[in-house]
């Protein structure tokens, strides 16, 4: 993805949604009981408070949310998915298409003959358009907290007839995160989470910021946040240098080809504590921007970075 496209995507996230995520990523165990049709029809309450009625177990699901795609395949609903959007790059077997979650086209979606559509944002009035043609739509926006994410996974389990697997995913993830956090020393280290080399970042009020908060870390971007930035401000280099983070997390390794080496090569960055102490952590952009099952991988990586910095 080019830097220009990254910037456009980021600006869209500020207005609508930031992005359309080990052991927690495995499919439903082989030999497990098939989902029961007796659970349908089911009436679900979406995060926006609206009710969604699903008459029968969906057999043709379209996902326009990369996070939802990951969850669907993790809970064993992958065989029910017939199409996913162009940003759903995990797992590899997901039926990726040219459908867009940023510019959803109701006509293109309906050509997939779906009996359930999952979206991360109501752009281009996609929810109203699909509802008008009697296609159930489940709107699962960017999670703000881990509990928000768990609630969405549970909803996807109920929507697809994969309730036991979804409940198990929530339990395993919650327990795994607790174990990792409990085993990590709590120190108020300062950190900078980079979304792009133009110094866009995420504050502690975002989902990823709350993940860092589990470890007692202090976000250097918090003073720059305003209602207009929605948790994703752009820092000035002077402000970043004054804050002098102990840790730098790079969530722009894919989009912008940033590495530990490129950060070290930036003018004057060698004066930062994080650079001097080799506390630069290269993340997977996708995992760091989604609220799906691979969150356990992110928590593991952050824990390792904190242990090294605190040691």
Q: How far apart are the first and last CA of the chain?
A: 36
Tokens coding 85: 């959007």
Q: What percent of the chain has pLDDT over 90?
A: 87
List the Cα angle 94/16/206 in 5-degree steps. Answer: 85
Tens-digit pLDDT profile for residues 236-258: 999 999 999 999 999 999 999 99
Check pLDDT > 70 for residue 227. yes
pLDDT above 60 for 13: no
Query: How is domain 39-178 classified at the architecture level of CATH?
Result: 3-Layer(aba) Sandwich (3.40)
Mean per-residue pLDDT, 148-174: 98
Cα separations in angstroms, 48 against 51, 141, 152, 205:
9, 9, 12, 19
Question: Directed axis angle between helix 295-310 and helix 163-182, to 10°?
Answer: 0
Rounded Cα distance, 74 and 294, in Å: 10
Q: In what order do the strands lie in the sheet with 81-84?
A: 81-84, 61-64, 116-119, 137-139
Calpha distance 271→299 (Å, rounded)? 28
Q: What is the pLDDT of residue 132?
A: 97
- Chain centroid offset of residue 243 CA: 27
- Who has greater pLDDT, 304 or 30? 304
Instruction: Choose between 274 and 22: higher pLDDT.
Output: 274
> What pLDDT is recorded for position 38?
64
Rounded to 5 degrees, what angle do the CA atoms 24, 25, 26 make?
100
Does residue 18 carry a pLDDT above 50?
Answer: no
Which residue, among 302, 290, 295, has the nearest Cα to 85 in the 3D structure?
290
Under 8 Å between Cβ of 291 and 142: yes
| Residue 157 neighbours by CB under 8 Å, 6+ apart | 75, 163, 164, 165, 166, 167, 169
| pLDDT score at 26 | 32
Q: Indicate the domain borders of the chain.
A: 39-178, 185-310
pLDDT number for residue 268: 95
- Tell me the pLDDT of the chain averaged across its residues: 90
Contact 17, 67 (CB under 8 A): no
- The pLDDT tens digits of the residues spanning 92-131 come to 999 999 999 999 999 999 999 999 999 999 999 999 999 9
Which three-class secondary structure string do you get for 73-128? HHCCCHHHEEEECCCCCCCCCCCECCCCCCCCCHHHHHCCCCCEEEECCCHHHHHH
CA atoms of 7 and 197, how far apart (whole Å): 10
Second CATH level (architecture) for the domain 185-310: 3-Layer(aba) Sandwich (3.40)
Interval 30-76: pLDDT, tens: 333 444 556 899 999 999 999 999 999 999 999 999 999 999 999 99
pLDDT tier for residue 190 given thresholds of 50, 70 and 90: very high
Tell me whether domains 39-178 and 185-310 share a fold. Answer: yes
Mean of pLDDT values over 13-38: 40
pLDDT at 228 exceeding the cut of 70: yes
Tell me the DSSP string of 132-180. HTT--EEE----SSHHHHHHHHHHHHHHHT-HHHHHHHHHHHHHHHHHH
Q: Nearest-CA neighbor of 46 among 134, 146, 119, 129? A: 119
- Tokens describing residue 218: 């202090």
CB burial string 241-264: b at 16+ within 10 A, e below: eebebbbbbbbbbebbebebebbe
Q: How far is residue 61's CA from residue 97's CA, in Å, rounded to a whole number?
A: 13
């Amino acid at each position: 993805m080019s830097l220009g496209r990254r910037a456009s995507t980021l600006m869209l996230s500020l207005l609508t949604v930031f992005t359309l995520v080990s052991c927690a990523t495995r499919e439903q165990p082989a030999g497990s009981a098939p989902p029961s049709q007796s659970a349908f029809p089911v009436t679900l309450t979406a995060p926006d408070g609206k009710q969604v009625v699903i008459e029968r177990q969906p057999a043709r699901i379209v996902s326009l949310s990369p996070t939802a795609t990951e969850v669907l395949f993790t809970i064993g609903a992958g065989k029910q998915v017939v199409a996913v959007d162009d940003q759903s790059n995990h797992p590899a077997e997901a039926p990726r298409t040219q459908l867009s979650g940023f510019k959803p086209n109701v006509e293109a979606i309906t050509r997939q003959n779906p009996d359930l559509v999952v979206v991360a944002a109501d752009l281009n009035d996609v929810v109203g358009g699909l509802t008008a043609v009697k296609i159930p739509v489940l709107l699962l926006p960017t999670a703000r907290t881990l509990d928000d994410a768990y609630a969405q996974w549970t909803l996807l389990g109920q929507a697809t007839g994969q309730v036991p697997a979804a409940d198990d995913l929530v339990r395993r993830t919650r327990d795994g995160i607790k174990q990792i956090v409990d085993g990590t020393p709590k120190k108020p280290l300062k950190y900078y989470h980079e979304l792009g080399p133009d110094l866009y970042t995420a504050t502690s009020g975002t989902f990823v910021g709350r993940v860092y908060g589990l470890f007692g870390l202090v976000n250097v971007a918090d003073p720059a946040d305003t209602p207009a930035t929605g948790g994703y401000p752009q820092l000035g280099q002077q402000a970043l240098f004054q804050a002098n983070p102990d840790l730098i997390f790079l969530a722009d390794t894919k989009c912008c080809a940033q590495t530990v080496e490129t950060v070290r090569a930036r003018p004057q960055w060698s004066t930062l504590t994080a650079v001097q102490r080799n506390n630069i952590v290269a993340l997977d952009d996708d995992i760091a921007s989604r609220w799906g099952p691979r969150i356990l991988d992110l928590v593991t990586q952050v824990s390792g970075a904190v242990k090294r910095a605190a040691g």
